[in-house]
Amino acid sequence: MATNRTFTMIKPDAVADGHTGAIIKMIEEAGFRIVAIKKTLLTGERAGQFYAVHSERPFYQGLCDYMSSGAIVPMILEKENAVADFRKLIGATNPAQAEEGTIRKLYAKSIESNAIHGSDSDENAAIEGSFFFAATEEY
Q: Which residues pair with 77 in a beta bridge?
A: 6, 34
- Give the binding site for ligand ATP (CB under 6 A): 54, 59, 63, 93, 111-112, 114, 117-118, 120
| Cβ at position 111, least distance to ligand ATP in Å | 5
DSSP code of residue 3 = -
Residue 39, annotated ligand binder? Answer: no
Residue 11, annotated ligand binder? Answer: yes
Which residue's CB is nearer to ligand ATP, number 89 or number 138? 89
Among candidate residues 6, 113, 117, 128, the one labeled active-site is: 117
Q: Which residues of 76-108 are buried (b: 16+ CB within 10 A; e: fewer)?
A: bbbbeebbebbeebbbbeebeebeeebbbbbbb
Q: How far apart are the first and last CA of the chain?
A: 20
Catalytic residue check, 117: yes
Residue 43, annotated ligand binder? Answer: no
Q: How many residues belong to the chain?
A: 139
Active site residues: 117
Binding-site annotation: residue ranges for ATP:
11, 59, 87, 93, 104, 114
Binding-site annotation: residue ranges:
11, 59, 87, 93, 104, 114
